[in-house]
Chains A and B, each alone.
Chain A
Amino acid sequence: MNITLRIWRQQNHDDQGRMVSYGVDDISPDMSFLEMLDVLNEQLTLTGDDPVAFDHDCREGICGMCSLMINGLAHGPEALTATCQLHMRHFADGDVIDIEPWRSNAFPVIKDLIVDRSALDRIVQAGGYISAPTGSAPDANTTSVARKDADRAFDGAACISCGACVAACPNGSASLFLGAKITHLGSLPQGQPERDSRAVSMTAQHDAEGFGGCTQIGECTAVCPAGIPLDMISQLNHDVLSGLTQPGGQ
C-alpha cells in the first residue's frame, strides 16, 4: 500500500505548527497504524529529517498512551479500538490520511502529535482513591460484592485514560473519563466512605483544569476504545449532586 500522510508538525508548545505531507510506500496491510508511522520515522531519520513525535507504549490497547486524531476521528475509524490496535487493512491503497494531536485547552501540545495529558492525572489525584486499613491482607470474600456492582465497577475500570473523549467532545469535556472513574470506585463497597467527597473533589478539579461541560451528545462514547457507556456521566452527575447536598458533604 502507498499512503500519503498529512501530519501536524509543531516543534514545541510555542511553535505555530502546520500540516506537512509525507508519502510512505510499500506498507503492509497487516501493519498497525503505529508501525506505519515507525516506517515513516525511519525514512525521515535516514534523510536527516526530524522524526514525527507521537505517544505510544504497550501497543496492545491497555496502557492509554497512544492517541492521534485520524481523519478527524479519535483513535481512527474503527470502534472500540485504540490507535495501536488499528491496522492498515482498514485503509485503502492511495489514501490520504490526516493525523493530528488531541485538541483541548487542557491538553497543551508538547511536540508534533504529543500532548500533555497531566490534567487527567491531577483529576485522579483529587479523589481517585480509597482509604484502606494497612496490615495483613484481608481474608478473601470478607466484603461481598454483588455481581452487578462488580461488573459495573469493572466496566468503569476499563477506562485507560487516553483522553479520546476529550478530543472528540465538541465541548472539550472530560466527563466520560470522570464518569468512568467515579463509577469504578463508587460502585464498590470499598469506595463508599469517600463516595461523596470523591465526586465533589474530582469534579472541582475537572472544571479547574478548563474542561467543558457535558451536553449528552455522546461523541465520546463513539470513539472510546474501552467502551465506557454514556450512563456513567449520568452516574457522575447523580453523585456530584447528592455529594453537594449531603450534610457534611464538604
Chain B
Amino acid sequence: MTVKTTAGRYGRALRSSVVLHAVMAVGGLIMALYLVAHMYGNLKIFSGQAAFDGYSSYLRTIGEPLLPYSGALWILRVVLLVSVGAHIYAAFVLWHRARAATGGKGGWRYQTTRNRRGVQRSYASFTMRWGGIVILLFVIYHLLHLTANVIAPGGASESPYERMINGFSIWWVVLSYVIALIALGFHLRHGVWSAFASLGANTSVVRRRRLNQLAYAVTIVIIGGFLIPPVSILMGWVR
C-alpha cells in the first residue's frame, strides 16, 4: 500500500482530498461572490420597474463594444457553470471517499446509540452534502422560474420586474424561496469558514474565530438581502 515513486506520490497528492477540498473551496467562494452581486441587483426592485428592468438590460451591455451583446453575462455564466461543476464533482468524490473510509456509515459506524451527534458538530457542518443537493434542486427551479420563465406562477412576462412581482405575490412561491434560503444559509455558514480553512487560511485559534465570524456575517448579509424583496412583495410594499 506504500506509494513508492516520487512521481507516484506527486500524482497521488494531486488527486488527494486536500486538493479536492481546495477546488471545492474556490468554486464555492466564486459562487458566494456571485450571490452578493445577485442579492444587490435584487434590491433594485425598490427603485421601481424602470430602474429594475433597466438594470437587467444594462447587465447585457456590460463591456460593449469590446464584448458582444450579453457577452459579459455569458462569461459570468461559464465561470459559474465551471464553479458549480467543479464544486459538485469534488463534493461527490469526497462523499464517496468518506463513505468508503467509514464502511458507508459515517458518524453512525458504532454499535452504541450514545453520542451519535458527536461533541462539537453543528447542524450546518453536518448537512453540507444533503443541504447542497437541496440548493441544487432549488437553483434548477429558480432558473426555470425567473430566468427562463418556464414555470410562471402568477403569469409570465417579458419584464423581469413583473416576473418577480407576479411570482412573489403568491404565498407558496415565497415559502419555497424562504426554505431554500434557509438551506443556503446553513451551507454558507459552514461553507465560507471551511473554504478558507481548506485553502490554508486558518492559522490560529484567533483566526479560526475570525473566519467563523466572517462566515456568519456573509451568511446574514446574503440571506437577509435575498429575503427582503420577496417578503416585501408578498406584504404588498412593492407593487
Contact = CB atoms under 8 A, between A and B. Distances in A.
Interface of A: 6, 8, 19, 69, 71-73, 98, 100, 103-106, 119, 122, 125-126, 168, 170-173, 197, 199-201, 203-219, 221-223, 229-231, 233-244, 249-250
A236 B112 CA distance: 32
Interface stretch (B8-16, B81-89, B154-162): B8-16
Interface in B80-116: 94, 97-98, 100-103, 106-107, 109-116
Contacts of B11: 204
Interface residues of B, number: 59
A168 B118 contact: yes
Q: Which of A201, A233, A237 has the most CB of B within 10 A?
A: A237
Interface of B: 1-3, 6-22, 94, 97-98, 100-103, 106-107, 109-116, 118-122, 125-126, 128, 190, 193-194, 197-205, 207-208
Secondary structure type dominating chain B contacts: helix
Q: Which of A103, A199, A242 has the most CB of B within 10 A?
A: A103
Contact of B102 (A73, A170, A231, A239): A170
Nearest to B120: A222
A215 B194 contact: yes
B10 to A, nearest CB: 4
B101 A244 contact: no
Given A210-B100, A235-B200, A241 B116 contact: no
A229 B205 contact: yes
A104 B100 CA distance: 9
Nearest to A103: B109
Contacts of A216: 125, 190, 193-194, 197-198, 202
Closest 7 pairs (CB-CB, A-B): A238-B200, A213-B17, A172-B101, A234-B202, A72-B115, A204-B12, A216-B194
Contacts of A243: 13
A230 B2 contact: no
Given A234-B197, A237-B21, A240-B13, A72 B204 contact: no
